[in-house]
Amino acid sequence: MDFDMLQARLGEIARATSSNFQKLPGSAMIVRYIQSSYQNDPVRSAIELVLVLFFIRYLMSPSYSTHKQNFVKLQEGEIEELIDEWTPEPIVADRTAVEEIENERLPVIVGPTGPKVKLSNGRTAFNLASYNFYNFNSNEQIKEKAIQTLRTYGVGPCGPPQFYGTQDVHEKAESDIASYLGTEGCILYAQTFSTATSVIPTFCKRRDVIIADAAVNYSIRKGLEISRSNVRWFKHGDFNDLERVLKAVANEQAKSGKLTRRFVVTEGFFEITGDVTDLPRLVELKEKYKIRIILDETWSFGVLGRTGRGLTEAQNVDPQQVDMIIGSLAGPLCAGGGFCAGSKDVIEHQRITSSAYTFSAALPAMLAMTTSESLKLLQSNPDILVQCRESIRALRAQLDPRSDWVVCTSSVDNPILLLVIKPEVVNARRLTADDQEKILMECVEESLANGVMITRLKTRPYANAIAANDWTLQPALKICVTSALSKKDIEKAGITIRHAITKIMTKRSNKAI
């Protein structure tokens, strides 16, 4: 009896459920689907059923992260303890003994800078320590224009180039540089130093190969570091060694079947040795091994060539053969900032992806204007360069062959004369880099005491930069020629420097004996 009732009840529930189910929207479709899907094919139906069940399981699973927790969870007490224990490191490290001495004796200029400067101790000196090769610094025409621009545009553009920072003067300066160099386009950067540092990572990324000269400057080294690329080095100025590295890279890539972009980075005039790159040979290698060239013309732009167009003009290379030409506007042009010139695509790519361009305020308008004016002067009057070269020759004649102690590593056209202590002297006296640094510092002082201000190559940053294994940096004196001084003055200055070096070296040798 009870059993019958239960059965009737169950039947009722089943009927109610089924009628409820039929009331659901779409239920008829599901019934039809299930009825038609079986089709007397149990294997296929089972596969579908498994797929559906798996699908439901996937939808039900809770989400989780696949990254391992890379931090330790600390208790409140532990955190307090760590904070108490912590002593901050000084933001700026204490000065070393050398820095202390350096700072003490730093000459201070009173009034405007120029070929002859007044020092804070009341004396005047020849200034052979600024990159003011053509004395555009005191050019009235440029000054006038700069002041005018300052009055109309204000000091800073108050924004990055892509964010209201670009003004007509910037575009004019860019097109001026591009037409001066003979490239399709040009992009202005606000700082010379960050130009190379930013251009390199814009184009190179992980797994790309960059082959760099062992003696490239600090700015390039920073760029190589940030680019995350695979950096190889070749011996300074040795293109046979470069070819060896290129062959090795080509072999490796052929073997692994993975082609990447390949770049060669080098400088026009090298900042730390002063010599010049053989560009035609480099272009030849570029064609042979399919590489891109990044040429840093920071020190050769506005200096080399008949009208100062740089290395490409001096060595008769089509500037469009060089993929990226990086240059400075801060040196001889007496403006500020840097630029990168190249094909249109190369330039437009930088406008959105180069970090120093997108994240830094644009170049002040007056500096862009100064750039245009300086270039105009250089183009209209190539005599400026001829005069400067005569001064270089006059100064060099007093120093390089005549001095018993130092030798000039710079190329003959380079207005920056880098003097290093002769290798035989270094070997005979067993001078370490620090010793040389000290000697050169004394030479700088001695020469300043006799009325000629010169400076030294700054070697300290290179201690922390990436470098080839067997590469060492030799400390050097840095003497910057200026064509504003008469030939007589230049010669006098050269003699003073030579005597200062001799005095220090002989004094030292006497002491050593």
Partner 1 sequence: MNDRSAGGRRRRSSSILQVYHEPPETLEQMSDQAVVPNMNANWTNQKGAWTIHIVIIAALKILYDVIPGSSQEASWTLTNMTYMVGSYIMFHYVRGIPFDFNGGAFDNLNMWEQIDNGAQYTPTKKFLLSVPIVLFLISTHYTHYDSTYFVINFLATLAVVIPKLPFSHRMRFSFFSDIPEEE
Residue closer to partner 1 (CB basis): 51 or 397: 51
What 3-state DSSP class applies to 292? strand
Contact with partner 1 (CB under 8 A) among 48, 100, 171, 434: 48
| Euclidean distance between CA atoms 114 and 482, whole angstroms | 9
Q: How far is the CB of 440 from partner 1 (least distance, A)?
A: 34
The CB-of-357 to partner 1 minimum distance in angstroms stands at 13
Binding track, positions 16-35, relative to partner 1; x by CB under 8 A: -----------------x--
Number of residues in contact with partner 1 under rule CB under 8 A: 36
Q: Which is nearer to partner 1, 201 or 268 (CB)?
A: 201
Binders in 198-227 for partner 1, by CB under 8 A: 201-202, 205-208, 226-227
CA neighbor of 380 nearest in space, from 87, 139, 148: 139
Q: Which stretch binds partner 1 (CB under 8 A): 19-27, 40-48, 157-165, 381-389?
A: 40-48
Residues 6+ apart with CB under 8 A from 92: none
**Residue type at 347 in one-letter notation:** I
Residue type, 322: V
Of 37, 175, 506, 509, the one binding partner 1 (CB under 8 A) is: 37
Burial of residue 50 (number of CB atoms within 10 Å: 0-12, 13-18, 19+): exposed
**Cα dist from 157 to 160, 189, 272, whole Å:** 8, 13, 34
Element (H, E) at 6: helix 2-23
CB of 216 to partner 1, least distance (A): 16
d(CA 201, CA 423): 37
DSSP summary character for residue 321: G
Q: Which is nearer to partner 1, 59 or 93 (CB)?
A: 59
Question: Closest approach of Cβ 61 to partner 1, in Å?
Answer: 4
Nearest 5°: the CA angle 235, 240, 244 is 85
Cα distances (Å, whole numbers) of residue 159 to 166, 212, 231, 329, 453: 8, 34, 34, 20, 38
As measured in angstroms, the least distance from the Cβ of 53 to partner 1 is 11
The reply on whether position 59 binds partner 1 by CB under 8 A is yes
CB contact at 8 A, 339 and 309: no
- 469 near partner 1 (CB under 8 A): no
List the one residue from 7, 50, 55, 404 that touches partner 1 (CB under 8 A).
55
Q: Is 451 exposed, middle or buried (0-12, 13-18, 19+ CB in 10 A)?
A: middle
DSSP 8-state code for residue 276: B
Closest to partner 1 by CB, 47 vs 397, is 47
Among 5, 24, 64, 287, binds partner 1 (CB under 8 A): 64
The residue among 19 and 256 lying less far from partner 1, judged by its C-beta, is 256
Please say which residue, 59 or 92, places its beta carbon nearer to partner 1. 59
Q: Residue 345 interacts with partner 1 (CB under 8 A)?
A: no
Measured distance CA(339)–CA(256) in Å, rounded? 37
Eight-state DSSP code of residue 269:
B
Q: Taking the complex as a whole, how short is the minimal distance between the CB of residue 39 and partner 1, in angstroms?
A: 5
Q: Which of 67, 73, 430, 488 binds partner 1 (CB under 8 A)?
A: 67
Instruction: Tell whether residue 430 is a contact of partner 1 (CB under 8 A).
Output: no
Under rule CB under 8 A, residue 69 binds partner 1 = no
Q: Is the Cβ–Cβ distance between 475 and 420 less than 8 Å? A: yes
Helices (H), 154-295: 168-181, 192-203, 218-227, 239-256, 279-289
Determine if 80 is a binding residue for partner 1 (CB under 8 A).
Answer: no
Give min distance, CB of 363 to partner 1, in A: 24
Return the closest-CA partner of residue 490 out of 406, 421, 387: 387
Asked if 306 interacts with partner 1 (CB under 8 A), we say: no
Q: Can residue 86 be called a binding residue for partner 1 (CB under 8 A)?
A: no
Residue 141 bridge partners (DSSP) = none
Closest distance to partner 1 from the beta carbon of 323 (Å): 16
| Closest C-alpha to 396, from 253, 498, 509 | 498
Q: Which region, left, alpha or beta, applies to residue 26 given φ > 0 means left and ψ of -120 to 50 means alpha?
A: left
Using rule CB under 8 A, residue 75 touches partner 1: no
Nearer to partner 1, 138 or 355 (CB): 355
Count of alpha carbons within 13 angstroms of residue 213, beta-carbon side: 28
Q: Does residue 63 belong to the site contacting partner 1 (CB under 8 A)?
A: yes
Site string for partner 1, 227-256 (x = CB under 8 A): xxxxx------------------------x
Tell me, residue by residue from 129 to 148, as one string, x for binding to partner 1 by CB under 8 A and - for no binding.
--------------------
Rg of the chain in Å (alpha carbons):
35
Minimum distance, C-beta of residue 161 to partner 1, in the bound complex (Å): 18
- Report in angstroms how near the CB of residue 341 gets to partner 1 at its nearest: 20
Q: Which tokens in the block code for residue 390?
A: 């005569």
Contacts with partner 1, residue ranges (CB under 8 A): 33, 36-37, 39, 41, 44, 47-48, 51-52, 55, 58-59, 61-68, 201-202, 205-208, 226-231, 256, 258, 353
